[in-house]
Amino acid sequence: MAKPVFTLGIEEEFQTIDPETRDLRSHMSQIVEGGKMVLQEQVKAEMHQSVVEVGTTICQNIEEARHQVIHLRQHVIELADKVGLKIAAAGTHPFSRWQDQPITSDVRYDKIVEELQDAARSNLVFGMHVHVGLETRELGVYMMNSLRYFLPHIFALSTNSPFWEGRETGYKSFRTKVFERFPRTGIPEHFASASEYDEYIALLVKTGCIDNGKKIWWDLRLHPFFNTIEYRVCDMMLRADEAIALAAVMQALVAKIHKLMVSNLSFRQYRKALINENKWRAARYGIAGKMIDFGKQEEISTRTLILELLDFVDDVVDELGSRHEVEYVLKMLEMGTGADRQLAVFRQTGDLKQVVDFIVAETTFGL
């Protein structure tokens, strides 16, 4: 029997920065329109005019994903340069105020703002989403149930939003605190089957809660239209290398859970309430704190749990061709997350504009 491929798709949300003020500045769709000439649907506007999103096509392996992520970053940086802007990759802007940032005029966004009001207007946050392709929706729900446990581990590595509106928040990821104001966010529920999941979506549509399943904004979801599991928990990553490393870990986790499943072994399911405890710790402390090992029922350093995660997927990474990318996580543990490095610059300089300069420089690293 042919082994599943577990294709990849990666979406990144970038900030458009005024090089003089270092504040966010609306790109007034110049970047998006310029990008569409070459990248077609791979570049698009987001709700706020100072956000530009790019996404890879369906990639067969991590090498192809790396090539596309680097190409897209290079291209969006060049487009921004042409209109006198810089591109920055972080979960929040260090000092910009959402009240000053215009909303993109679009029927979909108008509807969201009308419904969610200031929760939508203030949602000036930037994330990375990773899709992993699956053969069936039934398998997708099985994955969603099992992978929930690992979301705090992945999220801790991605933390890259310690500042909000000019303040040090005390969180390594404040982005997630802002986004939690939306309904249908956070760790997903457990679903017994794909039909139970689809019935849940159908009920929400029927009762006017949502118009389609894309308005379920969980940290991990079975995509409503495609056979992909979509990880949505991560802050936007500073470096392309970091984005690729986490995408490789996400793909490896899917491959590992699948390998256990076909061997008639299952990964133990944990309650959403317990996983939430670890997610909160990840948001607050990043990789510097402790999380709960539910099996042992004790606190363990987050770094140790991440190393255990790497051991857990070790037997699938060579088949996926992603050992080099997954092992970059060791470098991330060594140099600290984006939040750790932003905070180090701020401790050194006391100047949030210099933090922005640092983010802009890191966004181009390795390209």
3-state SS track over the chain: CCCCCCCEEEEEEEEEECCCCCCECCCCCHHHHHHHHHHHHHEEECCECCEEEEECCCECCHHHHHHHHHHHHHHHHHHHHHCCCEEECCCCCCCCCHHHCCECCCHHHHHHHHHHCHHHHCCCCCEEEEEEECCCHHHHHHHHHHHHHHHHHHHHHHCCECEECCEECCCCECHHHHHCCCCCEECCCCCCCHHHHHHHHHHHHHCCCCCCHHHCEECEEECCCCCEEEEEEEECCCCHHHHHHHHHHHHHHHHHHHHHHHCCCCCCCCCHHHHHHHHHHHHHHCCCCEEEECCCCEEEEHHHHHHHHHHHHHHHHHHHCCHHHHHHHHHHHHHCCHHHHHHHHHHHHCCHHHHHHHHHHHHCCCC
- Cα 134–chain centre separation: 19
Calculated CA dihedral for residues 221, 225, 228, 234, nearest 10 degrees: -40
Q: Does domain 8-363 have CATH number 3.30.590.20?
A: yes
Residue 37 has a pLDDT of 59
CA distance linking residue 30 with residue 143, whole number of Å: 39
Residue 333 has a pLDDT of 98
- Radius of gyration of the chain, Cα coordinates, nearest whole angstrom: 20
Q: Would you mind telling me the total number of residues written for the chain in this entry?
A: 367
Residue 122 has a pLDDT of 74
Residue by residue, pLDDT tens for the chain (367 residues) are 567 889 999 999 999 999 999 999 887 566 677 656 566 667 766 666 788 899 999 999 999 999 999 999 999 999 899 989 999 999 999 999 877 877 777 777 778 778 778 777 777 899 999 999 999 999 999 999 999 999 999 999 999 999 999 999 999 999 999 989 888 999 999 999 999 999 999 999 999 999 888 899 999 999 988 899 999 999 999 999 999 999 999 999 999 999 999 999 988 889 999 999 999 999 999 999 999 999 899 999 999 999 999 999 999 999 999 999 999 999 999 999 999 999 999 999 999 999 999 999 999 999 8
Q: Could you tell me the pTM of the whole model?
A: 0.95
Residue 35 has a pLDDT of 59
Residue 41 has a pLDDT of 65
CA distance linking residue 28 with residue 22, whole number of Å: 17
